[in-house]
Amino acid sequence: MTRERNSIPYWLSAPGALTVLALVAVPLVMTFTLSFYSQPPGGAIDSTLTLQNYGHIVGDDYYIEIFARTFLMAALVTGVCLLIGVPEAYVLTRLTAGWRAISIVIVLGPLLVSVVVRTLGWAILLGRDGVINKALMAVGLLNQPVQLMYSYTGLVIALSHVLVPYMVLSVWASLQKLDFATEQAAESLGASSLTVLRRIVLPQVIPGVLSGCLIVFALAAGAFATPAIIAGRRLKVVSTTIYDEFLNYLNWPMGAALAATLMVIVLAISLLANRYIERRYKQVFS
Amino acid sequence: MAGHSGCGKTTTLQMVAGLVQPTTGNIVLDGSEITKLRPNRRGLGIVFQSYALFPHMTVSQNVGFGLEMRRIPAAERAKRVAEALALVHLEAFGGRYPRELSGGQRQRVALARAIVIQPPVMLLDEPMGALDAKLREEMQIELRALQQRVGITTIMVTHDQAEAMTLADRVVLMNGGRIEQVGKPYEMYEQPNGRFSSTFLGRANVFSGSFNEGTFLVGDVALPTAASTLNGKADYILRPEKIRFVDQNAILKGRIAARVFLGNHWLFQVETPLGTMQVARANTAPPSVGEGDEVGLCWDLVNARVVATEGQA
């Protein structure tokens, strides 16, 4: 009797579990396996297990630079999203219901448009004859156009724009749980507005800030469309490199090894950051 | 300050606190005008309905926050926090976080946080609202004792008439954004100035009628009054516990429609020519009358209060 009843949850979750297994776990395992194979130039994939792909990644400055560039980019994008997204989310909670609805649509609207389209939009803005350069020159701030397309600055700007809604959403969700009265209480106890933000509001929304940062960081590190269009071949990141290994050099094992390395590093950074902040702000996570 | 929800009592409190700006009028504290002062410059101790404790700080840090903002040195701060916590009997809880406390304890932390800054006035916004009935009664008595001990003028907002009567030296009764009556709880209970005051504080039988050549008429029934100097329309207010059952010399006759036992007293609904009346009798002996009985009602005329209806006085 007890056994029969206990087996029902497993049956119920089986379809979902199987789908996840087939669509996520199996491809992951296959990619991992593939990354230990090797591919001699011009030859077929050799399925003897070897660490030589990982050896290249660790030993070759070319790959190390790409990884460093990718994670620096992800960190910068996370920083920019933090600086823009957190105040934006806070302002959102302070608006009246009507303005808030409009503002949320404006914040989330970009998510409804394909990343590729949004990035192409940035390409128009950032180009040598793009709107930004033209405007800056018209105002007289610049004498000659600055290189924004295929540049690190352009990449960080465009990617931050793509990812900032995730930060806003996640901080906003956290702010929803904030008791407005705690701010009033702090103020009545003599705190200035800045102190209220720093000592009362921010510590309470740390969970949202953290999850926002993790989402933005992971998405930025793995982003493909935006780097592919804005940075192009001139400024490779890990994901565009993986694409090239698979489709241009036809070195699947190398591509798989890069993908696996990227995933492991993102996972490790996320877990460590999560662990550290959760411990530091133990009381807010309940 | 007492009144039904939405009558403006919390808004008034927030204006005093500086969280809401009044459209007209001034707020004066100890002779100085504070109307335009920001809340963080007023130095008032506020206890919010939700207590608004800082969840990411310990009890001690919560209580010490106001002192910290006043740049009190750490040693003195620790001493004053300890004193405030002792005052609310939470000496042992300084290291805990708010979510590790019960509702009553949180309320006391909120009180300690307001007291510790030694404010000229304390503002309490429905401080008992989040507590269950039993705890509420305990905390009312404790709050009253605490307030007497520290001697800080306290303005408290409540929608609970019993709480207003228990805790207040002076009750400000509000209705629809206006003050209905101000007074000591006992005076206000005994001498309500109208229908609203009488029914908000306790129970009351209120009959609207008018004076006609010295007699008070409700419909076509005459009620005896002690005051016959009034003219025009008036309300006749009679507390249920002032009415006695009598066999003879009844002022009104009626039939008992319902009888409810409330522990320390019985509450009767009596159907009379004037409508249903409430009668309360102390539970000193087994009840002499039951449902369906015909009874005579009598009361001392000094206990019946007659108030001219607004606009007619």
Percent of chain A topping pLDDT 70: 97
Number of neighbouring beta carbons within 10 Å of residue A113: 10
Tokens read off for B6:
């939405």
- Cβ of A283 within 8 Å of Cβ of B18? The answer is no
Task: Please judge whether B40 and A200 are an interchain contact, meaning their C-beta atoms are less than 8 angstroms apart.
Answer: no
What distance in Å separates the CA atoms of residue B51 and residue B223, rounded to the nearest whole number?
A: 50
> Per-residue pLDDT for A284 more than 80?
no
CA-based nearest distance A188→chain B, Å:
5
Q: With CB atoms and an 8 Å threshold, state whether A281 touches B56.
A: yes
Q: What is the mean pLDDT of residues A257-266?
A: 94
Is residue B55 within 8 Å of residue A204, measured between CB atoms? yes
pLDDT of A5 reads: 67
Taken in order B205, B208, B212, B214, the sign of the CA dihedral is positive
Task: Tell me the three state secondary structure of residue B178.
Answer: strand
- Give the model's pLDDT for residue A78: 96
The pLDDT of residue A286:
55
The mean pLDDT of chain A is: 88
- Residue ranges per domain, chain A? 53-284
Q: What is the pLDDT of residues A154-196, one digit of tens each?
A: 899 999 988 999 999 999 999 988 888 899 999 999 999 899 9
The answer to whether the Cβ–Cβ distance between A283 and B97 falls below 8 Å is yes
Classify strands B32-33 and B28-29 as parallel, antiparallel or unpaired. Answer: antiparallel
Q: What is the pLDDT of residues A124-155, one digit of tens each?
A: 888 888 888 888 888 888 888 888 888 888 89
C-alpha–C-alpha distance, residues B56 and B278, integer Å: 52
pLDDT value at B14 more than 90: no
Using a CB–CB cutoff of 8 Å, tell me whether B312 touches chain A: no
* Pairwise CB contact (< 8 Å): A186 & B49: no
Residue B60 has pLDDT above 60, yes or no: yes
Q: How confident is the model at residue B313 (pLDDT cuts 50, 70, 90)?
A: very low
CATH number of A53-284: 1.10.3720.10
What whole-number distance in Å separates Cα of residue A56 and Cα of residue A93? Answer: 49
In angstroms, the Cα distances linking A235 to A66, A162, A238, B217, B233 are 8, 19, 10, 97, 91
What is the distance of C-alpha A30 from the center of its chain? 24
- Chain B residues whose beta carbon lies within 8 Å of the beta carbon of residue A204: 54-56
Q: What is the pLDDT of residue A257?
A: 94
Which range (A232-246, B155-169, B219-233) has the least confidence? B219-233
Q: Which residues of B149-175 are buried (b: 16+ CB within 10 A; e: fewer)?
A: eeeeebbbbbbebebbbbbbeebbbbb
Out of A25-39, A79-93, B90-104, B282-296, pick the least confident. B282-296
Phi/psi for B174 (5° steps) reads -115, 150
In this prediction, residue A256 carries a pLDDT of 93
pLDDT of residue A234 exceeding 90, the answer is: no
Distance between CA atoms of A182 and A204, rounded to whole angstroms?
10
- Of A173-187, B97-111, B183-197, B213-227, which gets the smallest average pLDDT? B213-227
Residue B311 has pLDDT above 60, yes or no: no
Distance CA A46, CA A229 (A): 33
Neighbours of B219 (CB within 10 A): 11
pLDDT of residue B229: 65
Indicate if the pLDDT at residue B136 is higher than 90.
Answer: no
pLDDT for the residue numbered A285 = 62
The one-letter amino acid at B141: I
State the CATH class of domain B9-187. Answer: alpha beta
Which tens digit of pLDDT belongs to each residue from A272-283? 988 888 888 776
Cross-chain residue pair A181–B48, CB shorter than 8 Å: yes
Domain-by-domain residue ranges, chain B?
Answer: 9-187, 203-308
Q: Which residues of A touch B49 (CB under 8 A)?
A: 181
What does pTM read for this prediction?
A: 0.75
Please provide the average confidence, as pLDDT, over all residues in chain B.
Answer: 86
Output the pLDDT for position B312. Answer: 43
Numbered residues of chain A with Cβ closer than 8 Å to any chain B Cβ: 179, 181-182, 184-192, 195, 199-200, 203-204, 281, 283-284, 286
Min Cα–Cα distance to chain A from B69, Å = 6
Of A181, A189, A283, the CB nearest to B69: A189
Indicate the CATH number of B203-308 among 3.30.70.1050, 3.40.50.2000, 3.30.70.260, 2.40.50.140: 2.40.50.140
Residue A128 · residue A150 · CB < 8 Å: no
Distance CA B183, CA B170 (A): 5
In this prediction, residue A8 carries a pLDDT of 87
The CA distance from A155 to A131, in Å, is: 16
Q: Residue A75: what pLDDT? A: 95
User: Helix %, strand %, coil % for chain B, to 5?
Assistant: 30, 30, 40
* 3 state SS of B211: strand
Amino acid at A20: V
State the average pLDDT over residues A68-87. 94
CB contact under 8 Å between A188 and B44, yes or no, is yes
